[in-house]
Structure 1
Amino acid sequence: MQVQPDTVTQTVAVVLANTPAARLACDGGTVLGRLTEQLTSIPVAVRVVGRAGGDLADDLREIAVVARAGSAPLAIISGDVVAHTEAIAGLLEHPARGTGALVAPGEPGPGASPVRVENDRVAAAGNSFHQLVGPNATFRGVLQVAASDLPRLAAVAAELSDLAKEDLLGEARDDEAADLLLAGMVRSGVPVAAVRLGVLHAERVTGQEAADAAFGRLGTVDEERARLDAAIKQDDGFFATYAVSTWSRHLVKAAAWLRLTPNGVTGISVGLAAMAAIWFSTGTRAAQLAGAVALYLSFVLDCVDGQLARYTRRFSPIGAWLDATFDRVKEYVVYVGLAIGYAGGIVGGRTGPENIWALAVAAMLLQAIRHMIDFSYAGAVADAAKVGSAWGNSRRSLAVAADGARLVQLAGKFEKGTATRWAKKIVVLPIGERMALIAVTAAFFNAHVTFVALLVWGGVATLYTLTGRIARSL
């Protein structure tokens, strides 16, 4: 599945050069020079702040001015960061373009402020002024603020600037603007995603020896491989994880070398699904086997188009829409092909032999209902948030909510075990499992078995999903 489009105004990166370490030697130049070259190559618009000195209050005031005038995501980066380009790009070029910060395990220190990460978000952030209890990660000097959060950033930066001007920020150093802003955004209620580095490196340096060591660590990682690994979903379904993602990276590299676009890969996937439907429609065993192989390859490319989009960072609005739309089209066309192949040459009533057409239509309707449940849930949650929780004051409502909480807690316990976690993923019959189910039953049995299996498993998945949605809503 492809990700959201990259059609907004180019990100602006404010590089904070008000630190002596920014002028340390690094890779034939300076730390600051290397960083600005990396940002330009991503590419983002670069604005250096504090080149001629100044103090913390001035830097924060200038960031407030830039944030008020901005209409695109704004990145705030300490000028003493030594990092893989891919690490910075992973945040600045993420399709969501949301508010987030680069974090990694490590001990807090002069070049790494403590943060506490919970559920992939920065729950709290510390620095020389803000004390933090129970940190479990460190901030690595790169913060991005979404366009929608710029007014809040401007307010936080202006308030911190006033405090710094009056010496009310305690022991805060001149090079802690990004750290203070991160803490301020979190404390003001802005959700800040914790973007983890993984095997990549990004760290702030405090001296020449530290800069040399940090630059040396960059060479220990194959950045290209890390980028390819990052393009593969880590939280996918069981079938997609073990039957596709284990080898699809080779197709991603080949597609990138051939300069195929994600939309082009989507088109090939649609073509393979159409071929599968045609083979299924003939009804012969050899054709059923060929159709099953074509359907599997179609699903592989359905995964590859999203992986290619993430790998090449080529996102388009039409691509996201086409991918979601053609997933349904491909599946339903295959249903039609299966039903035609089963009904061919066999005398049956108006719904075909053994009601094959009724089963096909029922399978389509069930999948349509399941997708409606999935896609409408997020909107329902947003609407409920606007209404508020005043409805929940009655004893009966509170009791029902308690029952829902118990169900959610029980489900959370199952997440802790590998086997139960995979079982939860499989039971909802995601698209990978559906394609595998269709391919196997069509190849070795017949369309009647395929549709009955889809209806039974799909019915269980629908009840499971509805129960979970209701419990979480309560």
Structure 2
Amino acid sequence: MPDSLIRESTTTSVVLLATTPACRLSCADGTLLDRISDQLAVLPIRDVQVVTPGGGLGADLRGVAKIARTSTGAVAVLPADLVAHTEAIALLLEHPARDTGALISHDPAAAPMRPPVRVEGGRIVAAGSSFHLVPEANATFRGVLQAGEADLASLADIAEELAELADTGRLGPVTAVEAVDLLLVGLVRSGVPVRAAGLGPLHADRVTGQNAADSAVTRLADVDEAKVRLDTSVKEDDGFFATFLVSSWSRYLVKPAVRLKLTPNTVTGISAGLALLSAVWFSAGTPLGRLSGALLLYLSFALDCLDGQLARYTRSFSPLGAWADGMSDRFKEYAVYVGLAFGFGGYDIWYLAVAAMIVQVVRHAIDYTYAGAVTDAARIGAMWGRPARSLLESEDARRAPGVLGLAQLMERDTIARWIKKIIVLPIGERMALIAVTAAGWNARVTFLALLCWGGVAALYQLAGRIARSAR
């Protein structure tokens, strides 16, 4: 039966599965159950509901289902025999999206308490247990699962179905230790998008004996959590220019910004101001003006990276901030186009400037309309349009055809992956292209370069979206 430990009001509830003997193992903080309860107490959660032994795997799963049906916010499920860094648990529980996700390690070496998963594009597309196989696994699940509010009904249905299968012996020799593993399998196979939250250098391990518990706790001291938090504030899947020529040094401005009590929105505003000054210098049309504009544009983009890093470090995302950041990017870019056109002079340059704007608008439309369609499909429910995957069948290794298969193949090779990122001309590459061509040549060269490269990027994006939609 679940016991409720009320915390201050937020939006996430935690189901703590204290159903295995290992959660009573001793550590410096008492037991492993005491230790993880203390960790949860410092995280922004609404309540912790502890599920204690009493009925086996089926009863545990029905307890999760009951909590999921009555909750009004995200629900996280984790076992009390987990030894993890607090920062590792926070990767899911403190993420402002409060979405459906699971904590994974990209170490593919599966073990009884580390079931295999396959991750593609930041999502878990296949998950395993002692009963469910995962061909081509490339990561392992580390015991922390969160269901967003929109997916709570699916979680409850899956938990009840799994409970029935477990009670009738149709899941083979699975035991209560695999409750959270089975829930992940069910969510993935039912078509629920599950974000893969990577551990990085942090540790999160489930243990079964005292020696393993002592070893796992000792290993935690080998990692500087504060340094990891700073490192993970840098966007993991960013473009080449942003990763190597901006974020490599802008990360060192995060802590000073925190000490100065700067908010991400404040940094966004300063970035927009520098971009406007850049446009003014570009409008002068002189070599010095173009060079000064290029330098200011680079600094503006650096602050554009910093606002995201600051938001991730402080975990202070907001819908307003996300909207302001996106609108600021478009405003800054088009203001610079106007400044360059004024500085070059003549009517002909405006045709190129407008054409460059149209290409970028089309590219953004391709991205945002596709993202909106995916969101709508998830909201309506993929199960309405196709049959749910069976929880009693093995997972098939799926190969993506055509352009999509090529893109996924490129993701596995480091050099090819960076080439792919450069091809799509993300904002970092665009800012670098504008700065270099404007400072070294003139606005005509800048707009022609944007049109040529932007056109190739638009075709690549369109082909990829069509391939994904067809799949």
- Normalised to the residue count of structure 1, the TM-score between the two structures is 0.84
Structure 1 match to 2:392: none
- Give RMSD over aligned pairs: 3.0
Alignment match of 1:377 (pick from 344, 357, 370): 370
Structure 1 match to 2:247: 245
Cα deviations by residue, 1:429-470 (Å, 9 ceiling, x for unpaired): 221111111111222222232222222322333333334444
* Deviates most, 176-185 or 274-283: 176-185
Identity across aligned pairs (percent)? 58
Deviation at 1:272, TM superposition (A): 0.6
Deviation at 1:24, TM superposition (A): 2.3
Residues 1:57 and 1:449: Cα distance change in structure 2 (over 3 Å): closer
Residues 1:189 and 1:375: Cα distance change in structure 2 (over 3 Å): closer
SS in 2 for 1:102: strand
Alignment match of 1:295 (pick from 294, 297, 302): 297
Residues 1:448 and 1:46: Cα distance change in structure 2 (over 3 Å): same
Task: Tell me the amino acid that sits aligned with residue 462 of structure 1.
Answer: A
Which entry has the higher C-alpha Rg, 1 or 2?
1
Contact 1:366 / 1:459 at 8 angstroms: preserved in 2?
yes
Contact 1:115 / 1:122 at 8 angstroms: preserved in 2?
no
Contact 2:10 / 2:45 at 8 angstroms: preserved in 1?
no
Structure 2 match to 1:233: 235
Structure 2 match to 1:362: 355
Stretches of structure 2 lacking an aligned partner (at least 5 in a row): 1-8, 387-399
Report the number of matched residues: 442
Cα deviations by residue, 1:214-253 (Å, 9 ceiling, x for unpaired): 1110010111121222221232212112111211210222
CA distance in 1, matches of 2:35, 2:319: 33
SS in 1 for 2:449: helix
Task: Tell me the amino acid that sits aligned with residue 264 of structure 2.
Answer: P
- Normalised to the residue count of structure 2, the TM-score between the two structures is 0.84
Cα deviations by residue, 1:129-162 (Å, 9 ceiling, x for unpaired): x253656544322111121221122223234445
CA distance in 1, matches of 2:270, 2:144: 39
Deviation at 1:406, TM superposition (A): 3.3
The 5 Å alignment of 1:2-401 reads 10-51=11-52, 55-104=56-105, 105=107, 108-109=110-111, 112-119=113-120, 120-127=123-130, 130-132=131-133, 134=135, 137-162=139-164, 171-343=173-345, 348=346, 351=347, 355-380=348-373
* Deviates most, 407-416 or 38-47: 407-416
Residues 1:414 and 1:79: Cα distance change in structure 2 (over 3 Å): closer
Stretches of structure 1 lacking an aligned partner (at least 5 in a row): 1-7, 391-403
* Deviates most, 72-81 or 423-432: 423-432
SS in 2 for 1:367: helix
Contact 1:15 / 1:46 at 8 angstroms: preserved in 2?
no
Task: Tell me the amino acid that sits aligned with residue 75 of structure 2.
Answer: L
Alignment match of 2:427 (pick from 426, 431, 435): 431
* Deviates most, 50-59 or 457-466: 50-59
CA distance in 2, matches of 1:43, 1:411: 38
Deviation at 1:412, TM superposition (A): 4.6
Task: Tell me the amino acid that sits aligned with residue 223 of structure 1.
Answer: E
Residues 1:294 and 1:62: Cα distance change in structure 2 (over 3 Å): same
CA distance in 1, matches of 2:141, 2:47: 21
CA distance in 2, matches of 1:38, 1:219: 15
CA distance in 1, matches of 2:181, 2:412: 33
Task: Tell me the amino acid that sits aligned with residue 22 of structure 1.
Answer: C
Task: Tell me the amino acid that sits aligned with residue 89 of structure 1.
Answer: A
Contact 1:18 / 1:49 at 8 angstroms: preserved in 2?
no
Deviation at 1:304, TM superposition (A): 1.3
Contact 1:9 / 1:71 at 8 angstroms: preserved in 2?
no
CA distance in 2, matches of 1:245, 1:271: 20
